[in-house]
Amino acid sequence: MSNPIGVALLGCGTVGSEVLRLLTEQSTELAARVGAAVRLVGVAVRRPWRHPEVPAELLTTDAAELVGRDGVDVVIEVIGGIEPARPLLLAALRAGRGVVTANKALLAECGPELYAAADAAGADLYFEAAVAGAIPLLRPLRESLAGDRITRVTGIVNGTTNFILSAMDSSGAGYAETLEEAGRLGYAEADPTADVEGYDAASKAAILASLAFHTRVTSADVHREGIAEVSAADILAARKLGRTVKLLAICERVLDSAGTEWVSARVYPAMIPRSHPLATVGGAYNAVFVEADAAGALMFYGQGAGGAPTASAVLGDLVAVARNRVAGGYGPRESAYADLPVRPMGDTPTSYHISLEVLDRPGVLARVAQVFADHEVSIMAVRQTGRTPEHALSGNAGSGNAESGGVGSDNAGSGGAGATLVIVTHSAPDAALRSTVDKLAGLDVVRDVVSVMRVEGEVT
C-alpha cells in the first residue's frame, strides 16, 4: 500500500453529502481499488452549522485554505456555478492537485482555461459527473472510442425537460400545467429557467462536442432553444407522424459543399420517430446516442441527476485520479488537436415539420410550395388533413395525395372549413427553413402556423 490519498471536498449539498457517505461506507473497497487509503482531509461549506453529519474537525468555511492545505492530493468540487469554483479549481490544479468536478457550467464556459492549468501542472482533471449524472459517458467518449471517428452525438441530457415532455406526450396536456405538475412532484426547481430554456443542456452539449470532436466548444458556441414554446398541438402533430418530442443536445460533424469539416452543437426540441432508441427514454432518465464510423450506433442510458447517481460518477473519477497518483501516471489530457470551426446555426442543415391551417380553395398548395421553392427547400412529404368530406380534392377524392389535385371548393376562405397541410422537408440550411416559415406565416392563404418543429433521428 502507498501513502494515503488526501481528499478535499468543496461543497456538501445534495451531491456532496452522498460523496461523503460513499467515501465513508466504501472506504475499504476504495482502498483496495486505489491501492492506497483514501482519507478525507476537509469539507468546505458556507454554513457549517447546517452540516451536523460532517465531523466538526473536518469542516471549514475557508475553501481556498483547504485547497492549499498540505496533504491534499485530490480536490472534489460539487459547489456548482462559475464563482468561486473557478479560482478554487485553478488554484488546485496549479498546485498540482488532481481535480474531480461535477460542474458542467464551469467546464462549458471555462474549460480551456482549466485544461491549460491542468496541462501546465501535469495534474488530472476529471468530470464524468458533469454530463448525464451516473451514466458513464465521457470516459467511453474520450477513451473507449479514441480509435474511432465519432460522427454524431444525440442526447437527452436534461431530466426536468424530459419529464415534462414525456408527461405532455402521455397526457396531451399543455406546457404550463405540466411544468407546474413537475414542480409539485420535485422534478422542476422553483426557478426552472436553466432547465426549460435549455441552458443546462447547452453546457452539456459543449462538453460532449469538445470531447467527441477534439475541438474547443464552449457554451457560447451552442445554439440553444428551450421547451417553453412546445405546445400540445406540437405534441399531437408529432404523434400523428409516429413521432415524439424530445429536447435534444446534438453534436455533429458537418461537411460543407467545399468539403470543409465543421462542428455543429445545438439544443432544441425536435420530433424523433417512436422507433428510435431515444424515444423510449421516459421520465427524468437521460440517454445519449452516439454514432461512430466503426462502432456504429451506441446508446448509454441511466439516471442523469440526483445525489447518489452523481456521487457514483464523482467517486469513479476519484478512484481514477487517485490510482493515477499511486501509479505515477496521469489520465488523458484535453485533446483539441482537430480544432474544427463551429458551424453557425443558420448554415447548419436541419429538417422541419410544419403544420399549417390554410384556406380551402384552389391554388393554395401551389402558393405554399412556391415559398419552399423560392428558398431552395425541398419538400419530403405533404399531407392534407382535417377537410370536411364535401371539400375533398375534386377528381381525386380518396387518393390521399395532396400534390395530385387543386382544391375542391371556393367558399372555404370565407370562414368555412379550412384544411391542414402537414409538411416535412428534406434537409436544408436552418436559415432557409426559418425564412420559409416566416414567409408562409405572412401568406394570405395561410390562416395559422399551427406547429413548427425540427425533425431528427432518421435519414431524410
By the rule CB under 8 A, 78 interacts with a second copy: no
The residues that bridge with 272 in the sheet, in sequence order, are 244
- Residue 255 as a binder of a second copy (CB under 8 A): the answer is no
State the cell numbers at 62. 475557508
Measured from the CB atom, the residue of 166 and 350 that comes closer to a second copy is: 166
Of positions 335, 396, 427, 460, contacts a second copy by CB under 8 A: 335
The cell numbers describing 255, all together, are: 461537411
- Of 211, 459, 219, the closest CA to residue 335 belongs to 211
Under rule CB under 8 A, residue 209 binds a second copy = no
Contact flag: residue 349 with a second copy (CB under 8 A): no
Grid cell listed for 338: 482537430
Of the candidate residues 182, 205, 319, 345, the single one contacting a second copy (CB under 8 A)? 319
Kindly tell me which residue out of 280, 385, 399, 411 binds a second copy, with binding defined by CB under 8 A.
280
The rounded distance, in Å, linking the Cα atoms of 401 and 164 is 35
With respect to a second copy, which residue has the nearer C-beta, 42 or 316? 316
Region class of 422: left (phi > 0), else alpha (psi between -120 and 50), else beta: beta
Rounded alpha-carbon distances, angstroms, from residue 20 to 67, 86, 314: 17, 22, 11
Say if residues 108 and 219 touch (Cβ distance below 8 Å): yes
Using CB under 8 A, which of 332, 346, 363, 400 touches a second copy?
A: 332
Has 104 been annotated as catalytic? no
Q: Is 56 in the site for a second copy (CB under 8 A)?
A: no
Which span (134-142, 182-190, 233-241, 429-437) binds a second copy, by CB under 8 A?
Answer: 134-142
Q: Which is nearer to a second copy, 58 or 315 (CB)?
A: 315
- Please list the residues that pair with 224 across neighbouring strands: 267
Task: Evaluate the CA torsion angle 50, 56, 61, 63 in order and state its sign.
Answer: negative
Return the residue of 47, 52, 83, 147 that touches a second copy, per CB under 8 A: 147
Which one from 204, 240, 246, 439 is the annotated catalytic residue? 204
215 lies in the site for a second copy, by CB under 8 A: no
Place of cell 426557478: 191
Nearer to a second copy, 98 or 316 (CB): 316
Residue-wise DSSP of 46-66: S-GGG-TTS-GGGEES-HHHH
How many whole angstroms separate alpha carbon 123 and alpha carbon 321? 9
**Euclidean distance between CA atoms 137 and 313, whole angstroms:** 10
Asked if residue 149 binds a second copy (CB under 8 A), the reply is yes
List the one residue out of 241, 242, 237, 208 whose CA is nearest residue 222: 208
- Residue 214 near a second copy by CB under 8 A: yes
Q: Closer CB to a second copy, residue 269 or residue 302?
A: 302
Task: Pick the closer one to a second copy by CB: 94 or 323.
Answer: 323
Pick the binder of a second copy from 39, 152, 323, 367 (CB under 8 A). 323
Q: Does 159 bind a second copy (CB under 8 A)?
A: no
CB of 294 to a second copy, least distance (A): 4
Q: Count residues contacting a second copy (CB under 8 A)?
A: 58
User: What is the C-alpha to C-alpha distance for residues 192 and 378, in angstroms, rounded to an integer?
Assistant: 38
> Which one-letter amino acid corresponds to residue 340?
L
Around Cβ 35, how many Cβ atoms within 10 Å? 15
- Asked if residue 253 binds a second copy (CB under 8 A), the reply is no
| Residue 18 binds a second copy (CB under 8 A) | yes
Residues 79-108 within binding reach of a second copy (CB under 8 A): none
In the bound complex, what is the minimum distance in angstroms from residue 211's beta carbon to a second copy? 12
The reply on whether position 144 binds a second copy by CB under 8 A is: yes
Instruction: State which of residues 80, 300, 396, 449 lies at the interface with a second copy (CB under 8 A).
Output: 300
CA 264/CA 254 separation, integer angstroms: 7
Three-state DSSP at 242 gives coil
- Cis amide bond preceding 344, omega within 30: no
- Pick the piece of the chain touching a second copy (CB under 8 A) from 179-187, 290-298, 346-354, 394-402: 290-298
Site for a second copy (CB under 8 A): which residue of 52, 259, 329, 398? Answer: 329
Per CB under 8 A, 276 contacts a second copy: no
CA angle 71, 334, 89 (to 5 degrees): 35
**E strands along 348-455, which residues?**
349-358, 379-385, 419-425, 428-429, 446-455
Residues with catalytic annotation? Answer: 204
The site for a second copy (CB under 8 A) is made up of 18, 22, 26, 29-30, 32-33, 128, 134-136, 139-140, 143-149, 214, 277, 280, 292-303, 306, 308-309, 311-320, 323-324, 327-330, 332, 335, 337-338
